[in-house]
Amino acid sequence: MAELMPPDTRRCTYFFLYDGSKVRGEGDPTRQGICYFYPEETPLDKQELMCGQLAGVSRCVSELSSSPVHTLRLRRCKFAIHMMEDFFWALGCSTEVPTVSVCELLDHLINIFCFYNGPIRQSYQLNSKETLAAQWARYLSHVQSGPSEIYNIFRCLRTVDSTTVDPLLLLKAALILQACQRCPLVLTGCILFRGRVVSTQMSPQLTMKVMVQESETYTKSQRSNGASTSCSLGAPVSSTAVFLTTSELQYLQSTPVNKNVSPFSPPLLDAPPKKTRLSRTLSDTPSTESEPPRLQTPQKLSFSPHMSESDDSFSPAPSQSSADSPNTSPQPTRSPLPNGGHAVETEHKLSHHHGFKSNGGSSVFEENQCLNGDDVNGDAARRAVFDLQGDDSGNEQSRDAQMVVGDSGVCFRKAESKHPPPPFTCALDSLEESPLIPKMLYMHRVNGLVLALLVEHGFMSDAASMEEVYHSSLASLNGLEAHLRSIAAATPGTSGQYTFAHYDCIQSTLTTNVSGRSGGAPEHPFVRATSLLHSHFCDTETLQEAIIRNAGVAVYGTRSVAQVTYFQQHSGSLRNSGIPNQQDSAFSLPSKARHRLLKHGVNLL
Amino acid sequence: MKCLLIASESAEVLFHWTDLEYQRNIQEQYGASQEEGEELPAFEDILSTLFAPIIISYSTMEDSYTSFTTDNNHIYVLHQFDECLYIAVNGDGEEKEDDLRRKMYVMKKMIEVMFGMVTLSGTLLRKELRPQDTEQRIRLWKHLQNLIETYSHLRENDQSFLVEAVERLIHPMLCEQCIEFLERRLVQQLNSSVERAGEEVLHAFILVHTKLLAFYSSRNASILTTSDLLALIIMAQNMYPSNVDLDDQSPEVTSMAEDSLHALEISPPDPSTPRRVFLDISLKDGLYPMMPHSMYCLPLWPGITLVLLTKIPTSAVALSVYKYLEDFDKLEKRLREGQGSSAAARSPLNMQDVRCKLDKFVKALGPSELQVLEFKNRAFAKNGPGFNKDLIPWCKKMKTQLCGIYRQCFLIDSTDFPQRLSPGLQEGAQAMMQEKLMDWKDFLLVKSKRNITMVSYPRNFPGLVHFICVDRSSGQMIAPSLSITERTTSELGKGPVARFIKSKVWGLVRTTRRYLQKGYSTVTLRDGDFYFCYFLWFENESGYKLDSVDIPVLPDDSPPIGTLACDYYKLLRYYSKNHKGETVKCYELLTVHLGVIPTEIILQHCRQLASKLWEPSRNPLL
């Protein structure tokens, strides 16, 4: 992530997942049921105490009330609880964080997990506790990455600053996404830049999930590339299997008009798509993306239409890539699913990378199969798992499949066998979990910029489509990246005059000048008041406006259907008796907020 | 779907109250796990079984539970007072977390008023709350259950119990006459009678429903705290649930009241037997909590009651017991801190003094009551262990014994020796008061329902819908009547509109308390079609407005903001003091305006109300 979070804004004090089904007998130690516990350095007996007691007492309460426990509070900590079958999640935060925010955060965490790993019970049947613990740790650190404590209150999409970015660039990003959608296998997409959204066609919730993977690959690419851009691999294309809920899928399949949730709606978004290739469309616009001044990346490729027509020259094949895999020692084993009855590869962390290699314009097909350094036995069924040309529904197991674009050329590798994989349904595990539909997340990274597309499985095996999307967007992405990179990452600092936070509930975006710098101490009174007001707004549907004041601080909160704004004025002495008084500066906050926030693009009129 | 449970650490039920719905729910829960044909055990045993895991887990946790909520919006609130764990549950959405916490604290307050310092010993309190004798237990629990129901009813319907301040009947002339009558005629006559059996009337007051018509305290009486006065009003209401109320109530409340009447039939109390109540008094040398008094509730007419509070002749014993309890408490604390020799060197000196006084006390009490010998041997013997940590259990033992003596003196004797104002004397007082108020009776009953009316609002305060003003120093409140019953109609009319306003006012009080708890003393809200304001400020004795101060930010599980259970405002007044000895007054104002009124006008109204309400001559509403 671009910004590092100061340690004291850590919003979560505890997070654990406990599987009660592992602790059935009298003699079963509680630790057997602990799937993940944060902070990981907590002594095991304390972990056992927390899991055992909280899960036990919650079970008792939910039996008494015939309903699962939703929140649980201790004197110094409040927990959001989620109970599903034998699984018990608890997320504990400081008592100052609004309860509603803690509950949202826990739901968000579980949703992220299911997005990348599928149904929970099944994930734990297919994978080791340790593997999944690493996933939880990763998601948890991602959701806690907000730069200041105000992010503990609002779960938001961070976007590029619309006031500093040329609207034309946003339009361009939207056009790239639209162009990608011409491929029928592409469902939807978003463009991200260094942990911030440039443009998205997805719902905010879905975009947030996609961003987990983005920040992961970003950190990885930063780590592997170091600071230099002179790496040989250049812009990597990767893909990973993801799982959508039925409602998310329905949303995606609804009319495109309703789907437009771009944080900054470009005025021309609804313009009819031109028949021309995207690359050409963009080069027609008077921008400099074809020869960006700061584009130093060696993988600069000149894309010509003929490249994308040479579909037949591509064939995918799994390649050796264990070094890049973040997951340790995957051990392909076959475990019969008790519910499904058919064997599925349990190891989904096998990653295979595909290198695009071109040799003087013509592609060379390399066939190279390696399962993360493991030897390959001749099991056809297993090989089928990695078959990128299998049918649409069959390829979800190759979750971390990555395609790497090399600077020297393009090459797809291809698996030999094309056995159709067994039909796969994700709802097989439980009736309680809502069914999850497997899709693929395709990501094309150009330095800090990522094009993320949700695609059908067929896309990954359809070399023609893939190449089409890749080539049609690459030049534009390069251009966009260069432009965005040149814009200074200026977060609005505290102006000294006032503090504000403006949350757009529809787009889930937060505009604020709370910086979190210098420990956030001077901003704490504002955050504390905002936290209280936020809880109040959530509780009381009819509440539109509130002013609260103590001896030192007066904070104004106002909301409409789509947005909620909090404002505090610093100047002027608040000292008075507290008796009603028209001259009291607290009551001029609404008009001050209206005037001051206009320049931040917040219209309260 | 409501429940309040008091349990010991070993999950023994010390008291429970449930409404019918919750009881049915619990029985179904339990029945489901039972084999068919099996008879259900006693309800308290079912509760104990079902709640045991929660109670045991509670004591296992380092940082204890304060609340749970479930997906179907059931709320559980837990709090431990000494050795008793209170659990309050709501499953119908009518109460929020803070209501449940308040209910627990009020319950604890009522138990303190009823059992006094016995509550300081966990062992004794357990025995007291859960008498061995089943019939006695049923009777006690029924009484406590009725108290909760009476309290809940008042909190939900009576503005003075909403904000926990006493409401006076506003009729200065009659009020003055009554006070004079109480002072010159009634109390004087009672206190000079030979039939008073050594008791002395300290306070006398007249209640019209829950409103105070007149209050008189004798010269040598200590001030009655608002908390105690509110508790006494609950007890009086519980004894004589006004018939007028019954007519007005919605059907469910009626059945509740009938239920309590039914309870009275089970154990018909001798009306002339006073209730033993334990109230806080402040003497020159400090505050003494839970000092024994007798409370006489003399019904004048349905809805109008004369209450007398007397000092009992043996109350000096309670003072001594409290002092010794404090001494042993201090000693125990010191031993526990284990400050080593320096503290030990100081403490024997103090203890020698305590020892002498204790000896005298024991002598005065008579033999066999207090076993101090063993403690003395351990503490003072030359070659004994002296003052070290080993003495802690003996301190505890002494404290329990002291509480035992207190119990013997003030909780048991009343049945053996009917120590009281003679029935004749009581009847005399009743008749005197009836004669005095005979002509006012009907007026008072109507007035109590329409204490302040909204008639003058539209002219002076256009757009003002409702307000409540509270003087926290005197514990009194002023608010227009908010009667929403079928029989009486307020200016708001009756039916849904009035009910809606009422729910908004109740919600506003809850909201502002929440902000106050977190340190915010001014709140304005635009909510739906209304604009709400809340102000809290301090004045000195001469009415000068003091600068606002930083109000403490309290944790979520702190005692509820109010006066009945714990006086939060006393704490606040302390905080706002600039120098010692300064008297600080604290006021609160809540207003409800129509949302269309400009904010400047609203603030102007608030300003006017705030400055004029407490000056009767200028009060435009009287």
- The owner of tokens 């996933």 is A135
Element holding B213 (H helix, E strand): strand B211-217
The percent of residues in chain B predicted with pLDDT above 70, rounded, is 85
Q: Is the pLDDT of residue B305 over 70?
A: yes
Convert the pLDDT of each residue in B30-75 to its tens digit. Answer: 988 777 777 889 999 999 999 999 999 999 998 899 999 999 999 9
Question: Three-state SS for B41?
Answer: coil
Who wins on pLDDT, A12 or B167?
A: B167
CA atoms of A564 and A558, how far apart (whole Å): 6
- Cα angle B482, B484, B490; round to 5: 55
pLDDT given for residue B576 in this prediction: 78
Q: Is the pLDDT of residue A196 over 60?
A: yes
- The verdict on a CB contact (< 8 Å) between B514 and A540 is no
In chain A, which residues have their Cβ closer than 8 Å to the Cβ of B533? 580
Convert the pLDDT of each residue in A164-183 to its tens digit. Answer: 888 899 999 999 999 999 99
Are A28 and A70 in a shared domain? yes
- Backbone region of residue B237 per phi and psi (left: phi > 0; alpha: psi in -120 to 50; beta: other values): alpha
Cβ B484 vs Cβ B498: under 8 Å: yes
- Cα angle A243, A245, A246; round to 5: 130
Name the band, by pLDDT with cuts 50, 70 and 90, for residue A252. Answer: confident
> Is residue A174 in some structural domain?
yes
> Is residue A418 in some structural domain?
no
B326 token code pair: 């404090």
Q: Which of A361-365, A432-436, A536-540, B215-219 has the lowest mean pLDDT?
A: A361-365
**Among A233, A212, A211, CA closest to A224:** A233
Q: What is the mean pLDDT of residues A86-109?
A: 95
End-to-end CA distance of chain A: 35
CA atoms of B237 and B235, how far apart (whole Å): 5
Best of A57, A533, A588 to disrupt the B interface (most B CBs within 10 Å) is A57
Task: List CB contacts of A517: < 8 A, sequence separation 6 or more.
Answer: A493, A494
Who wins on pLDDT, A444 or B334?
A: A444
Radius of gyration of chain A (CA): 26
Comparing alpha-carbon positions, the chain B residue that sits nearest to A57 is B54
Tell which of A458, A486, A514 closes a domain. A486
Nearest by CB to residue A532, choosing from B63, B515, B549, is B515
Name the band, by pLDDT with cuts 50, 70 and 90, for residue A486. Answer: confident
Q: Which of B111-115, B222-226, B443-447 has the lowest mean pLDDT?
A: B443-447
Q: Is the pLDDT of residue B134 over 60?
A: yes
CA atoms of A474 and B394, how far apart (whole Å): 84
- The verdict on a CB contact (< 8 Å) between A587 and B599 is yes
> Is residue A419 in some structural domain?
no
- The verdict on a CB contact (< 8 Å) between A75 and B91 is no
Q: Is A549 touching B (CB cutoff 8 A)?
A: yes
- Number of helices (H), then strands (E), belonging to chain B: the values are 22, 16
In chain B, which residues have their Cβ closer than 8 Å to the Cβ of A582? 600, 603-604, 607
Q: What is the mean pLDDT of residues B85-89?
A: 98
pLDDT given for residue A570 in this prediction: 85
Comparing alpha-carbon positions, the chain B residue that sits nearest to A545 is B526
**Helix runs in A159-304, H state only:** 167-180, 204-225, 246-253, 256-259, 278-284
Cβ A278 vs Cβ A472: under 8 Å: yes
pLDDT given for residue B454 in this prediction: 67
B418 token code pair: 């009917």
CA atoms of B433 and B189, how far apart (whole Å): 12
> Is residue A3 in some structural domain?
no
pLDDT given for residue A165 in this prediction: 85
Q: Is the pLDDT of residue A308 over 60?
A: no
Are A589 and A464 in a shared domain? no
- The verdict on a CB contact (< 8 Å) between B520 and A532 is yes
| Number of domains forming the structure of chain A | 3
Name the band, by pLDDT with cuts 50, 70 and 90, for residue B360. Answer: confident
A260 token code pair: 């437009």
**Among A27, A30, A54, CA closest to A44:** A30
- The verdict on a CB contact (< 8 Å) between A67 and B526 is no
The CATH number linked to A79 is 3.30.450.60
Best of B26, B54, B548 to disrupt the A interface (most A CBs within 10 Å) is B548
Convert the pLDDT of each residue in B369-395 to its tens digit. Answer: 666 767 776 767 666 556 677 788 888
**Among B82, B80, B119, B76, CA closest to B100:** B76
The CATH number linked to A461 is 3.30.450.30
Are A39 and A87 in a shared domain? yes
Are A80 and A21 in a shared domain? yes
- The verdict on a CB contact (< 8 Å) between A65 and B74 is yes
Are A457 and A542 in a shared domain? no
CA distances in angstroms from B116 to A397, B406, B461, listed in the order given: 71, 9, 47
Nearest by CB to residue B522, choosing from A56, A73, A578, is A578
Averaged pLDDT score across all residues of chain A = 73
Q: Which of A6-10, A346-350, B199-203, B487-491 has the lowest mean pLDDT?
A: A346-350
- The verdict on a CB contact (< 8 Å) between B57 and A540 is no
Best of B522, B572, B593, B608 to disrupt the A interface (most A CBs within 10 Å) is B522
Q: Is A65 touching B (CB cutoff 8 A)?
A: yes
Who wins on pLDDT, B188 or A328?
A: B188
In chain A, which residues have their Cβ closer than 8 Å to the Cβ of B93? none
pLDDT given for residue B455 in this prediction: 66
Are A510 and A560 in a shared domain? yes
Are A209 and A116 in a shared domain? no
Q: What is the mean pLDDT of residues A515-535?
A: 83
Name the band, by pLDDT with cuts 50, 70 and 90, for residue A393. Answer: very low
Q: Is the pLDDT of residue A275 over 50?
A: no
pLDDT given for residue A10 in this prediction: 58
Q: How many CA atoms lie within 13 A of A124 on its CB side?
A: 19
> Is residue A414 in some structural domain?
no
pLDDT given for residue B540 in this prediction: 87
Q: What is the mean pLDDT of residues A80-95?
A: 95
CA atoms of B397 and B377, how far apart (whole Å): 14
Name the band, by pLDDT with cuts 50, 70 and 90, for residue B490. Answer: low
Q: Is A43 touching B (CB cutoff 8 A)?
A: no
Who wins on pLDDT, A271 or A526?
A: A526
In chain A, which residues have their Cβ closer than 8 Å to the Cβ of B546? 577
pLDDT given for residue A216 in this prediction: 76
Task: List CB contacts of A417: < 8 A, sequence separation 6 or more.
Answer: A380, A383, A384, A387
Residue B185 pairs in a beta bridge with none
CA atoms of B82 and B121, how far apart (whole Å): 9
Q: What is the mean pLDDT of residues A24-42?
A: 92
Q: Is the pLDDT of residue A2 over 70?
A: no
Domain extent for A578: 498-600
Question: What's the maximum distance between 2 C-alpha atoms anywhere in chain B?
Answer: 84
Name the band, by pLDDT with cuts 50, 70 and 90, for residue B348. Answer: low
Name the band, by pLDDT with cuts 50, 70 and 90, for residue A84. Answer: very high
Buried-state track A312-340, b at ≥16 Cβ within 10 A, e below 16: ebbbbbbbbbbebbebeebebeeeeeeeb
Name the band, by pLDDT with cuts 50, 70 and 90, for residue B136. Answer: very high
Name the band, by pLDDT with cuts 50, 70 and 90, for residue A309. Answer: very low
DSSP annotation string for B87-104: EEEE-SSSS-HHHHHHHH
- The owner of tokens 């709802």 is A427
Tell which of A145, A178, A212 closes a domain. A145
Nearest by CB to residue A580, choosing from B53, B69, B603, is B603
Who wins on pLDDT, A428 or B566?
A: B566
Q: What is the mean pLDDT of residues B446-464?
A: 79
CA atoms of A31 and B200, how far apart (whole Å): 67
A399 token code pair: 């979750």
Cβ B108 vs Cβ B129: under 8 Å: no
> Is residue A358 in some structural domain?
no
Who wins on pLDDT, B350 or B79?
A: B79
> Is residue A225 in some structural domain?
no
Q: What is the mean pLDDT of residues A389-403?
A: 38
- The verdict on a CB contact (< 8 Å) between A67 and B523 is no
Q: What is the mean pLDDT of residues B575-590?
A: 84
Question: Three-state SS for A500?
Answer: strand
Best of B72, B75, B524, B609 to disrupt the A interface (most A CBs within 10 Å) is B524
Are A482 and A503 in a shared domain? no
Q: Which of A34-48, A148-162, A198-212 has the lowest mean pLDDT?
A: A148-162
Convert the pLDDT of each residue in B179-198 to its tens digit. Answer: 999 999 999 999 999 998 88
Q: Is the pLDDT of residue A356 over 50?
A: no
Q: Is the pLDDT of residue A331 over 80?
A: no
**Among A409, A405, A394, A389, CA closest to A460:** A389
Task: List CB contacts of A94: < 8 A, sequence separation 6 or more.
Answer: A11, A13, A77, A78
Q: Is the pLDDT of residue A120 over 70?
A: yes
Q: Is the pLDDT of residue A186 over 80?
A: yes
> Is residue A343 in some structural domain?
no
Q: Is the pLDDT of residue B591 over 90?
A: yes
In chain B, which residues have their Cβ closer than 8 Å to the Cβ of A542? 527-528
Q: Is A68 touching B (CB cutoff 8 A)?
A: yes
The Cα of B30 is separated from the nearest Cα of chain A by a number of Å equal to 9
pLDDT given for residue B532 in this prediction: 97
Provide ipTM, 2 decimals. Answer: 0.90
Name the band, by pLDDT with cuts 50, 70 and 90, for residue B396. Answer: confident
Q: Write a three-state SS string for B535-599.
A: EEEEEECCCCECCCCCCCCCCCCCCCCCCCCCCHHHHHHHHCCCCCCCCEEEEEEEEEEECCCCH
Nearest by CB to residue B535, choosing from A550, A575, A579, is A579
In chain B, which residues have their Cβ closer than 8 Å to the Cβ of A107? none
CA atoms of B214 and B167, how far apart (whole Å): 11
Question: What's the maximum distance between 2 C-alpha atoms anywhere in chain A?
Answer: 84
Are A504 and A476 in a shared domain? no
Tell which of A464, A486, A508 closes a domain. A486
Strand locations in B221-285 (E): 275-283
Are A16 and A140 in a shared domain? yes
Q: Is the pLDDT of residue A492 over 50?
A: yes
Q: Which of A106-115, B88-97, B233-242 has the lowest mean pLDDT?
A: B233-242
pLDDT given for residue B450 in this prediction: 82
pLDDT given for residue A348 in this prediction: 39
With a CB-CB cutoff of 8 Å, which residues 131-160 of chain A face chain B?
A: none
Output the pTM of the full model.
0.83
Nearest by CB to residue B548, choosing from A58, A578, A582, is A578
pLDDT given for residue B124 in this prediction: 94
Strand locations in A342-494 (E): 343-345, 353-356, 358-359, 362-363, 402-405, 436-446, 449-455
pLDDT given for residue B168 in this prediction: 92
Cα four-point dihedral sign A83, A84, A86, A90? negative
In chain B, which residues have their Cβ closer than 8 Å to the Cβ of A71? 67-69
Name all contacts of B337-340 with Cβ < 8 Å and 24+ positions apart. Answer: B338/B388, B338/B389
Q: Is the pLDDT of residue A494 over 70?
A: no
CA atoms of B551 and B547, how far apart (whole Å): 12
Q: Is the pLDDT of residue A35 over 90?
A: yes
> Identity (one letter) of the amino acid at B158?
D
- The verdict on a CB contact (< 8 Å) between B600 and A75 is no
Q: What is the mean pLDDT of residues A51-65?
A: 96
Q: Which of A353-362, A440-449, B183-192 has the lowest mean pLDDT?
A: A353-362
Nearest by CB to residue B548, choosing from A62, A551, A582, is A551
- Cα angle B90, B92, B95; round to 5: 55
Are A516 and A456 in a shared domain? no
- The verdict on a CB contact (< 8 Å) between B533 and A552 is no
In chain B, which residues have their Cβ closer than 8 Å to the Cβ of A529? 520
In chain A, which residues have their Cβ closer than 8 Å to the Cβ of B523? 546-549
Name all contacts of A379-386 with Cβ < 8 Å and 24+ positions apart. Answer: A380/A417, A380/A419, A381/A343, A381/A419, A381/A421, A381/A422, A382/A332, A382/A334, A382/A345, A383/A415, A383/A416, A383/A417, A383/A419, A384/A417, A384/A418, A384/A419, A384/A420, A384/A421, A385/A345, A385/A421, A386/A318, A386/A350, A386/A352, A386/A415
Are A470 and A590 in a shared domain? no
A39 token code pair: 């902070």
The CATH number linked to A562 is 3.30.450
- The verdict on a CB contact (< 8 Å) between A542 and B65 is no
